[in-house]
Chain A
């Protein structure tokens, strides 16, 4: 099942290459139908817990006793993120139909390849396998930016690739080191073996710190966390709308997934020790991102900074180690993926029609393109965490957990972001849809049925999530608890609290159904 899910998008990409020839329309049809079929197939992961782990030996690393296994497995967390990836793919294809014109074949191939590689990295249960997919997904993204990107696409693509690659090479060295010392590359085995390494002195405090930094760097670039975010605005600005759906909607979430699955269980002591650093960096991202978004005149750059702000909040929530915040993490990841994808698509439609995307370039569109205006306002309000949307649930849980776990100051500062988020989005709505319309915009066409159809499901899903987030919290809750257990314990010890006295909130995940396999059980 998992091998099939991984292979399906890649096979679909191949099929699209061979079956569609130069006909752009048939490429679209094949790619769209196949990606929908994959999404339906993939939903088995959350509907009936189909993610039984599978594993075959791949190769033995020279000079060590570590045999790399091509092992895949899904748990509640990765299953839901895979839903995000698989359902965003047909949306990205549908939404790009009018934008990429005659080059649909290459576009569909790149999007499908990226989908497959992202699924691979979410399913990987082996460090090496994860790294392979984590790096490889950059390549289709670079091609996508190069072929369909904006004016600065060359430097943006190069910058994006080198920045993210530089971030992850140290992790690769760390993986080699771990493989050599533990003789294993399976994630759960490595996590289980680490305490023993620390005990017998193989992993000294200094080396431990370096290893921790190597892993943090790899994921902090992808999220991005504040000092490492400079690739983001540039890349988002030059990425075509469909690519941005995958990049902002799904790929950035894999950085957070990396923090949850690798950094927290592998380095609980360091996480606890430096939790405040991450919270502060996250807060700088939350507030700084929102302020920077306010100052942009390019809407795509604004959305990039807004993502920085929203994902900074997720990082703050993770490092508060509080149960409620952790319940909010997956909800916010998925809700943000949906809303930012909708916004990027809508901006892409406007850009495709007028080749402009400045905040001052439009005005009075509400009368001319009512459908676009309505959808944009709804998507913007979702992104600003209007009650009733998934974003509200996510941000509420995150802020509540932050308040309980990391103190009122942090929560108040983070709460600012919600207000600022409303401000910069309302500014765009005010400029674009009200006020004076420039005569050149008088012939602007409203959205077609296909274009609107790509956005509406995203918004509906966001509302559904807002009213009924339980499926996500119920399935991800136990997984997250397991992942964060050791880090939280270390944090509590550090702050002189007994585990039993630690502040706990009644979490929605309390009554979770059984059956989500644990990823990372530390050795008893």
Chain B
């Protein structure tokens, strides 16, 4: 990956932050009603601009701190799209409830900027900056309804836990710095500090697994998701998970490269596959096992807990835990073959982000004042009185459930097919069975939506932005199945780096062959 110029690389991020600042600057000078009429459109304008710029953003890295490549560009685009849906949903919610302030829009944009940083980060500190920017904004958004007890409860739990796990992450980053002498990902271990390095990586992973809500760090999800307004639930579910898994994936690839004896000179391309050596495989075996076990646990706990819920937000919360399970399984090392590539994970994430943000925005629109219709009973029959939202919600829900012909199906398809190719057939079978359990509660929502007798439509807020953003998201969910190859390049076409010589003791720092991993920056 070549170095890139500062401004073009950061242009989408800068536009999002500029949008946040402009919204924040205008907010005090507007009437209460004008806030919800004007600010979301302003935010949407900046987001659409950021999305357009993202399409033309160059690939490359910035002093090894931040990087942009094909997979990262797609993830960033999905974050921007999910944020657009969230802004539309917030406009619905806040204008309907006559909320006395417009800072939520700015906070959402700041949160999106944090998630973009998390995706682009190739450095422990840059990543920390992104985590904190995203988390702090989301803490405030969760507590948006200051007078509601469950909102305060969710905010408090999430904030305290989040602070603790941020500290754990930071400690891990410090240990990694001590072991490698630098803050970048994929740096070689100095001297005999291998254990220190591994411990640091474990702590960093724990911090990130908390952010994505994987078992056993999932206990905050139900409360935080339920306390937040529905539109915010969709935002945090989609955006934080994209950022968190992008960071986990980048760390994991870098670790695999280091342990397999590569010298990583430039940030790794997230779409690339790393050729594992036997030494690398054995060094990562424990991590791999932990990912698999946590993934399976997340699937079981998340899906079966969601099955019992009647509140739509709690269903989404537990299903988010289950979805982290699928994503963790995508990290598994191959049993046969020696290629570790995360392409299926990136596609899964993009599909998940759009589906989640879209479904909860549609749901925010039909949940009624104060999100009072946040239950299966409240949802019942709304598809018949508001066919547009019903239709949109159906598309997004079946996409998250993994039913064709939607992007969510292709995401699951790629992840599980990859598992089968890695010779983990039984895990794939188990995960498919869990997907059927998951489909049970998603389809139950669809069935509830359409089957109850017609009743009064609930009051909705301003709808133009919601209509447009939902339609765009639905088209994306259906259109993405056409060209999965545009996003996920197959492994054979990816730059595969081979170590120059077989490395016997990859864990030993002395045995690092000086071969650059990157095909572009290769200068032996």
Residues of A within 8 A of B440 (CB): 158, 162
Judge whether A59 is part of the interface by a CB distance below 8 angstroms.
yes
B447 touches A146 (CB 8 A): yes
Cα A146 to Cα B433 in complex, Å, equals 24
B433 to chain A, nearest CB (A): 7
Judge whether B78 is part of the interface by a CB distance below 8 angstroms.
no
Per the CB 8 Å criterion, the residue count for chain B at the interface is 48
Judge whether A354 is part of the interface by a CB distance below 8 angstroms.
no
A369 to chain B, nearest CB (A): 29
A residues 153-176 touching B (CB-CB < 8 Å): 153-154, 157-158, 161-162, 165-166, 169-170, 172-173, 176
Residues of B within 8 A of A133 (CB): 404-405
A177 touches B420 (CB 8 A): yes
B421 touches A176 (CB 8 A): yes
Residues of A within 8 A of B378 (CB): none
When C-beta atoms are compared, the residue in chain A nearest to B440 turns out to be A162
> Of residues B383, B404, B416, B432, which shows the largest number of chain A Cβ atoms within 10 Å of its Cβ?
B404
B residues 270-292 touching A (CB-CB < 8 Å): none
Cα A135 to Cα B409 in complex, Å, equals 10
B444 touches A158 (CB 8 A): yes
Secondary structure class of chain B's binding surface, majority of residues: helix
Cα A61 to Cα B421 in complex, Å, equals 9
A62 touches B443 (CB 8 A): no
Judge whether B344 is part of the interface by a CB distance below 8 angstroms.
yes
B403 touches A138 (CB 8 A): yes
A176 to chain B, nearest CB (A): 4
A180 in contact with B421 given A63-B491, A173-B432 (CB within 8 Å) = yes
B436 touches A62 (CB 8 A): no
Residues of A within 8 A of B488 (CB): 59, 62
A154 in contact with B432 given A65-B492, A165-B439, A176-B416 (CB within 8 Å) = no
B417 touches A146 (CB 8 A): no
A169 touches B435 (CB 8 A): yes
B421 touches A62 (CB 8 A): yes
Judge whether A136 is part of the interface by a CB distance below 8 angstroms.
yes
Across the interface, A165 reaches (CB within 8 A) one of B403, B416, B418, B482, namely B403
When C-beta atoms are compared, the residue in chain A nearest to B452 turns out to be A154
Judge whether B339 is part of the interface by a CB distance below 8 angstroms.
yes
Judge whether B428 is part of the interface by a CB distance below 8 angstroms.
yes
Judge whether A436 is part of the interface by a CB distance below 8 angstroms.
no
Residues of B within 8 A of A502 (CB): none
Across the interface, A135 reaches (CB within 8 A) one of B403, B484, B485, namely B403
When C-beta atoms are compared, the residue in chain A nearest to B432 turns out to be A169
B403 touches A136 (CB 8 A): yes
**Mask: chain B, 459-501; 1 = CB below 8 Å from A; 0 = not:** 0000000000000000000000011110010111000000000
Residues of A within 8 A of B435 (CB): 169
A residues 95-131 touching B (CB-CB < 8 Å): 103, 106, 128, 131
Cα A239 to Cα B403 in complex, Å, equals 21
Secondary structure class of chain A's binding surface, majority of residues: helix
B425 touches A177 (CB 8 A): yes
Residues of A within 8 A of B482 (CB): 58
Residues of B within 8 A of A172 (CB): 413, 416, 432
A132 touches B404 (CB 8 A): yes
B443 touches A158 (CB 8 A): yes
A173 in contact with B425 given A61-B417, A158-B440, A162-B439 (CB within 8 Å) = yes
Cα A176 to Cα B450 in complex, Å, equals 34
B432 touches A131 (CB 8 A): no
B416 touches A173 (CB 8 A): yes
**Mask: chain A, 133-154; 1 = CB below 8 Å from B; 0 = not:** 1011011001100110100011
A176 touches B444 (CB 8 A): no
> Of residues A60, A62, A106, which shows the largest number of chain B Cβ atoms within 10 Å of its Cβ?
A62
A166 touches B409 (CB 8 A): no
B428 touches A143 (CB 8 A): no
Judge whether B394 is part of the interface by a CB distance below 8 angstroms.
yes
**Mask: chain B, 406-423; 1 = CB below 8 Å from A; 0 = not:** 000100011011101110
B420 touches A154 (CB 8 A): no
> Of residues A59, A132, A177, which shows the largest number of chain B Cβ atoms within 10 Å of its Cβ?
A59
B447 touches A142 (CB 8 A): yes
> Of residues B418, B425, B447, B482, which shows the largest number of chain A Cβ atoms within 10 Å of its Cβ?
B447
A residues 302-321 touching B (CB-CB < 8 Å): none
A132 touches B405 (CB 8 A): yes
B436 touches A166 (CB 8 A): yes
Cα A44 to Cα B485 in complex, Å, equals 34
B residues 437-454 touching A (CB-CB < 8 Å): 439-440, 443-444, 446-451
Residues of A within 8 A of B416 (CB): 172-173, 176
When C-beta atoms are compared, the residue in chain B nearest to A238 turns out to be B451
A149 touches B451 (CB 8 A): yes
B447 touches A157 (CB 8 A): yes
Chain B residues packing against A (C-beta within 8 Å): 334, 337, 339, 341, 343-344, 383-384, 387, 394, 398, 403-405, 409, 413-414, 416-418, 420-422, 425, 428-429, 432-433, 435-436, 439-440, 443-444, 446-451, 482-485, 488, 490-492
User: 17 other contacts beyond A62-B343, A162-B440, with CB at 8 A cut-off?
Assistant: A59-B488, A61-B421, A62-B341, A63-B341, A132-B409, A133-B404, A135-B403, A135-B404, A136-B403, A139-B394, A142-B446, A149-B451, A158-B443, A161-B439, A162-B439, A177-B425, A180-B417
Q: 3 nearest interchain CB pairs? A: A63-B421, A146-B450, A60-B490
**Can you list 26 pairs linking A and B with CB atoms under 8 Å apart?**
A59-B488, A63-B334, A63-B337, A63-B339, A63-B418, A63-B421, A63-B491, A106-B387, A132-B405, A135-B404, A136-B403, A139-B394, A143-B394, A146-B446, A146-B447, A146-B449, A146-B450, A147-B383, A147-B451, A157-B443, A157-B451, A162-B439, A170-B432, A173-B425, A176-B417, A176-B421
